[in-house]
């Protein structure tokens, strides 16, 4: 039997639902652990509850990257300088 899967890092996407992070761990991850998760396609970033698709992170230019939902096609353009969940949360609050 594997470790539990924890749904964390809920980031509002307005009318488009939320971006959540699925973390498989034996213990409940703390807020600092969630905030430090890097934004790249290898992490479990999901579009919830809208379509339950997973997000890819695609570098578009030297200044921009896109979070792309592989199921519904939602695209969120973000600065390349955003490194982790904490950076993305602060950016989305603006």
Sole residue written with tokens 């790249």 = 40
| Confidence at 25, pLDDT banded by 50, 70, 90 | confident
Structure tokens that stand for 64 in this block:
């921009």
Residue 4 CB: number of other CB atoms within 10 A? 11
Range of the domain at 25: 4-93
Q: Give pLDDT tens digits for 31-90.
A: 888 888 888 766 678 888 778 888 899 999 999 999 999 999 999 999 999 998 889 889
Confidence of residue 1 (pLDDT cuts 50, 70, 90): low
Model pLDDT, residue 72: 92
Q: How many domains does the chain contain in total? A: 1
- In the DSSP assignment, the letter for residue 53 is P
Q: What is the mean pLDDT of residues 12-26?
A: 78
Q: Going edge to edge, which strands form the sheet with 45-48?
A: 4-12, 18-25, 45-48
pLDDT at 93: 83
Whole-structure pTM over 0.85, yes or no? no
Q: Classify burial at 3, counting beta carbons within 10 Å of its beta carbon; exposed 0-12, middle 13-18, buried 19 or more.
A: exposed
Between these two residues, 58 and 17, which has the higher pLDDT value? 58
26 pLDDT more than 90: no
Which residues pair with residue 45 across a beta bridge? 21
């Amino acid at each position: 039997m594997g470790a539990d899967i924890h749904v964390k890092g809920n980031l509002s996407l307005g009318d488009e639902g939320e971006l959540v992070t699925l973390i498989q761990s034996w213990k409940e991850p703390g807020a600092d652990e969630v905030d430090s998760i890097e934004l790249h396609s290898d992490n479990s970033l999901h579009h919830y509850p809208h379509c339950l698709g997973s997000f890819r992170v695609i570098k578009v230019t030297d200044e921009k990257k896109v979070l792309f939902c592989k199921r519904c096609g939602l695209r969120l353009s973000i600065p390349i300088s955003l490194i982790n969940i904490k950076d993305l949360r602060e950016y989305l609050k603006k």
